[in-house]
Amino acid sequence: MDKIEITGGKSLHGKIKISGSKNSALPILAASLLTQDKISVSNVPNLSDIFSMLKLLESLNVKIDKKKNRIDLISSTPRSLLAHYNLVRKMRASFLILGPLLARYGEAKVSLPGGCAIGNRPVNLHLEGLGRMGVTFKIENGYVTGSIKGRLKGAKINLNQISVGATENLLMAATLAEGTTIINNAAKEPEISDLSKLLIKMGANIEGFGTKKIVINGVEKLKSCSYKIMPDRIESGTYALCVFGCGGTVKLENVNNEVCNHLIKVLKQLKSLQLKKIDNGTGLLIKKKKNIEISLIVRTKEYPGFPTDLQAQLTSSLLKTKGRSEIVENIFENRFMHIGELIRMGANLKQNGSKVIVKNCKKLKGAEVMATDLRASSCLVIAALMAHGKTTINRVYHLDRGYENLEKKLKLCGAQIKRVRS
């Protein structure tokens, strides 16, 4: 099992090219199931989660032609509409094939999903919404089986809590439904807008994406298109927090105005961190000024609030900052598994339920630590870059699910980091 070794204590200086968004790419790849025509997707990140989704699509008779960071997909009728446990267990986003399969074929059998163990993320919102569109479900032996006679029916769906995955699944299903579907309390993330823009290029009729109310007028079929995936805002935020923790100046390339504006907003409380849009919004210059005392309160929220996917990285970036900060996790109930590993390195942290208090630690020291999930792994990378001495991070397969060429990108900015292959 691979490890990453980091010798910390250096500031970061250089350029980092941001990859395409993982959280956009996964539903966009799943959307290829909605048509028999070719879908060509570019700016696809080279990640293990992407490989898992492609393997799952291939099992459903999708022909895949991969060229650098572009992927062509042609979806033909599969021999079986079964998404087996072995293909779904590693990644929660695999469940996003359910809506497209039901919309195009009227039936599907999908294993209950896996992914990071960061809390209870039930699929009931997906099933209740699809049930409103006429699907009958049964759950047995770890599988969800759904079926409907004829086409899905447009419906008014009121999500009782905001869910990115449920919004995506219902949005894709509704494109081929008969009549109009309204999704109320929909997720507003930029990745929802990215998926919607792809579907519109395929011929879908969608209004209101990016708001709490999405209206979809179903069409009979979707067509071929080419689409470029948006840049990854979580990867961008992770490197911005690397600079905040370590100091230095780094230019992020291959971003866009939406990513820049979002990061400038959610990181504005970090007074010693300067973020400036450059190159007409395709670049973001990040600079750490002198290390001033900061005391802040951050609560994770759905977009456009502070992302839960940056909570762990923020925690580690604050470890050497003077002051007392409070971070409250409101999205997932089990997203503080990194706290114990940071304490092993000397972090001055105290957790109380969904809240963690961060105080300045006298000395952050390298240690052997273990990644527990995707974002916790990048949090440990930030802590290791800040620490004195060498840190060895185990179980970095979590990192490979969401960060493309992380070691190479950081090394180009002066970090002492290497992968040790077992």
- Residue 331 tokens read as 């999205």
Name the amino acid, one letter, at 38.
K
Residues 6+ apart with CB under 8 A from 68: none
How far CA 352 is from CA of 225, 308, 355, 358, 364, in Å, comes to 49, 17, 5, 12, 22
Residues β-bridged to residue 394: 3, 370
Residues β-bridged to residue 393: 4, 369
> HEC string of the chain?
CCEEEEECCCCEEEEEECCECHHHHHHHHHHHHHCCCCEEEECCCCCHHHHHHHHHHHHCCEEEEEECCEEEEEECCCCCCEECHHHHCCCHHHHHHHHHHHHHHCEEEEECCCCCCCCCCCCHHHHHHHHHCCCEEEEECCEEEEECCCCCECCEEECCCCCHHHHHHHHHHHCCCECEEEEECCCCCHHHHHHHHHHHHCCCEEECCCCCEEEEECCCCCCCEEEECCECHHHHHHHHHHHHHHCEEEEEECCCHHHHHHHHHHCCCCCCEEEEEEHHHCEEEEEECCCCCCCCEEEECCCCCECHHHHHHHHHHCCCCCCEEEEECCCCCCCCCCHHHHHHCCCEEEEECCEEEEECCCCCECCEEECCCHHHHHHHHHHHHHCECEEEEECCCCHHHCCCCHHHHHHCCCCEEEEECC
Distance CA 406, CA 390 (A): 18
Catalytic (active-site) positions: 116
- Residue 170 tokens read as 């219902």
How far CA 234 is from CA of 23, 29, 107, 263, 273, in Å, comes to 9, 19, 34, 9, 17
